[in-house]
Structure 1
Amino acid sequence: MPHDDFTPGTVWLVGAGPGDPDLLTRKAERLIARADIVFFDALVGPGVLGLVPPHVEQ
Structure 2
Amino acid sequence: MDYIEQAKKEIKDEWFKNHVAEIRGNEGMQVIYWGKPGSFEYRTTFVLSDNNIFIFGDIA
The TM-score, its normalising length taken from structure 1, stands at 0.25
The structure number with the bigger radius of gyration is 2
Of structures 1 and 2, the one scoring higher in RCO (CA 8 A, sep 6+) is: 1
The TM-score, its normalising length taken from structure 2, stands at 0.25
